[in-house]
Each structure stands twice: as structure tokens, then as C-alpha cells.
Amino acid sequence: MPVEVAYAYLSDPRNRPQWQSSLRSVTVPVDEEPHLGQRWQETTSVGVRPQMEIIEMDPPLVWAERGSWRGVSATLTLGFARTPRGCRVEIRGDVGGRGVYVVPAAVAGRLAGLAVAADVRKAGRILAERDS
């Protein structure tokens, strides 16, 4: 699939519940297009409700978000590269915590890489099904 298609899908918070396994919903205006500084709230399957913000947009190459909830903060950066078969998405992330959240944030950070990679693969399958 073209890198522009993958970027448009993954960078739009409204699509997140379709492909992010831990997510129940997002609260963002339906007609609001993704933009630098856009903010929204997510509700996860375990009830965590982080505040999110797009902190970098360079279509179709880079998209990044920052999220925070209580004493935990996280960043996620997706890099998009053209390949002979479509595109590749490179994932970089960081999770940190303050006070009593230091240890839970460290554990979450270790698990997050596997979860995000699986979620991005799921997004790829969704887009491939739409394309066929």
C-alpha cells in the first residue's frame, strides 16, 4: 500500500479503536482533521484515560504523539518509508514515570513495544483488506 495511505490512516486518532487492541474509544471531534497540536482523550480497556497530543507531523514521513496519565508519560513516533512493495513503518517509543509510577511505567515500557508492533501490523491488515 502507498505510504500516503498508511500515514493518513495511522495518524488519524479517530481510527485508533479499529486497530489498537488496548483501546475502547477516543474523544475527538468527528470532523476535526489530524493536525499538529491536536488533543484527544483515549479510554483503554483497563479504564486508563490518557490525554493525548500530536507533537510532530511531517506527512508522509513522520508522525508522533505524546500521552500522559497521572504520573506516567509516553511518546510514540512512527516513521514511514517507501519500499518496493508499499511501505514500512518504523516504531520508536518511550515510557516514563514519576513517583509511585516509576516502576509501573518501566514495566509498561517493556511491554509496549510488542503491543504497538502487533497493533501496527493489524492496521496493515485492515488497510490491505480495504485495498482488495
Report the CATH number that the domain containing residue 112 is assigned in CATH.
3.30.530.20
pTM: 0.90
Task: Report strand pairing: 39-44 vs 23-27.
Answer: antiparallel
Instruction: List the domain range (segments joined by +) for residue 100.
Output: 3-131
Q: CA angle at residue 42 from 116 to 69, to 5 degrees?
A: 85
Give the mean model confidence (pLDDT) for residues 30-47.
92
Number of domains in the chain: 1
Per-residue pLDDT of 51-77, as tens digits, reads: 999 999 999 999 999 999 999 999 999
